Amino acid sequence: MNGTRQPIGVFDSGIGGLTVVKALVEELPSESIVYFGDTARVPYGTKSKSTIVKFSLENVEFLLRFGVKCIVIACNTSSSWALPTLRKYFKVPIIGVIRPGALAAVRATRNKRVGVIGTTATIRSGAYETAIHRVDPRIKVFSQHCPLFVPLVEEGWLNGSVCLEVAERYLHPLKRERIDTLILGCTHYPLISSTIHKVLGPEVVLVDSAQQTVTEVRGVLMGTDALSNGNTRPRYRFFVTDEPSHFNRIGHRFLGQVVGSVERVNPV
């Protein structure tokens, strides 16, 4: 198969990875994409490392059926715990969202006080702190797990009093630490960025790792001569393990367009 025509594979525990798909569509409009959302087993962030690694291995195996030329882990939890294992077992280039987000935060911070919010598992891994300190060990990193944000986004509760109250509870400790940069350490979180800004104030820079991840994808594809030449029309396919209609309904909020056909498959 011609490498330039092969699709990019993307997986996430649910719907949140569509923020990465949106960035891919905008920045690499000639590329075809196969998306796998493990909606039957969302959230990953409350699960053990061994379970997260097991699910991630299964997700990659599913995407490989489509001859993907690279795989993006659009899930901070999987990126935190499973990336080394996935790279060990599979030859296809695999890109996580942690390193690109960390690099963006290092560039953005002015007072060297960076906050990270994510699922319980992502925060427990310390992956962002490690990645930031590799670049600049002087930066102080303050982390906060926000387990209720994912179900709020999956339900479509993106604004309003409930979302605001939850955000105030989670973010108050970070505000107290005078952070000037906040990493949205879960691909669901950009959808509630307006609520987060309300709590922290507009002067705090919010880092969405999706844009940075796409830059890394472009570099990987250029390095392997697999960047699409634009001669064929891109195709987008979406697979979920539960509730395609719900995915379709919420998905357009992520993509800013109708998702189209969503196929339901059993977990691998």
Q: Active-site residue numbers?
A: 75, 186
CB 207 within 8 A of CB 182: yes
CB 91 within 8 A of CB 61: no
- Which tokens in the block code for residue 175? 């505000």
CB 75 within 8 A of CB 206: no
Cα atoms found within 13 Å of the Cα of residue 8, Cβ hemisphere only = 29
What single-letter amino acid sits at 182?
L
CB 184 within 8 A of CB 144: no
> Rounded to an integer, what distance in angstroms lies between the CA atom of residue 205 and that of residue 107?
11
How deeply is 248 buried, as exposed, middle or buried, from its count of CB atoms within 10 A (0-12, 13-18, 19+)?
middle
